[in-house]
């Protein structure tokens, strides 16, 4: 399935899983990002879920948007992604719908978009929690054809 915007630019779907850089147990904290990447505008939009069944029983859902940037380097080129999320459900204040920020994500990915590191902050039950070091991995269930297009895009940006 191809998704297009008005200027016929193809949006590329990508799913990433972030886990804190610590020993993992089943049910530990994780962040899933399901994104649509707009290559021509260097923008991303999508949804996310911070989830854990151990100790905190966390389930924070967000609508996310942000930007990506290719960082050229002779040694190790990278992709930087900056996302902010708002509560996926409607919050009413005095009868008016308000957007409540509940997620901040910063990622540094390898040039091939498959692996990297990041940090994220999420708001759970009114309190911000920070994960300062997380491993980021491309979800293998996402079509590799789209990954190839993202890598090709990075190479095209590098040559300009």
Measured CA distances, 146 to 2, 79, 109, 118, 155 (Å): 10, 16, 16, 22, 14
Q: What is the pLDDT of residue 160?
A: 54
Q: What is the pLDDT of residue 64?
A: 97
Q: What is the pLDDT of residue 4?
A: 42
Mark residue 159 as left, alpha or beta (left: phi above 0; alpha: psi -120 to 50; beta: remaining). Answer: alpha
Q: What is the pLDDT of residue 154?
A: 63
CATH of the domain at 34: 2.40.128.30
Would you tell me how many other CB atoms lie within 10 Å of the CB of residue 144?
A: 10
Name the β-bridge partners of 66: 44, 83
pTM for the predicted model, two decimal places:
0.82
Domain that holds residue 121: 3-159
What CA–CA distance (Å, rounded) separates 28 from 115? 20
Q: What is the pLDDT of residue 30?
A: 92
In percent, how much of the chain has pLDDT > 90?
52
Q: What is the pLDDT of residue 3?
A: 43
- How many independent structural domains does the chain possess? 1
* Confidence category of residue 7, pLDDT binned at 50, 70, 90: low
* Confidence category of residue 35, pLDDT binned at 50, 70, 90: very high
Interval 108-115 mean pLDDT: 94
């Amino acid at each position: 399935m191809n998704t297009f915007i008005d200027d016929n630019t193809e949006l590329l779907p990508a799913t990433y899983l972030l886990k804190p850089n610590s020993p993992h147990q089943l049910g530990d904290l994780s962040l899933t990002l399901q994104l649509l990447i707009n290559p021509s505008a260097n923008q991303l939009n999508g949804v996310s879920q911070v989830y854990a069944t151990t100790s905190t029983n966390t389930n924070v859902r967000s609508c996310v948007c942000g930007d990506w940037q290719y960082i050229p380097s002779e040694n190790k080129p990278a992709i930087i992604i900056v996302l902010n999320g708002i509560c996926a459900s409607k919050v009413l204040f005095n009868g008016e719908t308000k957007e409540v920020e509940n997620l901040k994500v910063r990622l540094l990915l390898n040039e091939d978009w498959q692996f990297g590191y990041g940090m994220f902050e999420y708001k759970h039950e009114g309190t911000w929690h920070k994960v300062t070091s997380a491993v980021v991995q491309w979800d293998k269930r996402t079509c590799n054809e789209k990954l190839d297009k993202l890598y090709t895009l990075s190479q095209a940006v590098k040559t300009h």
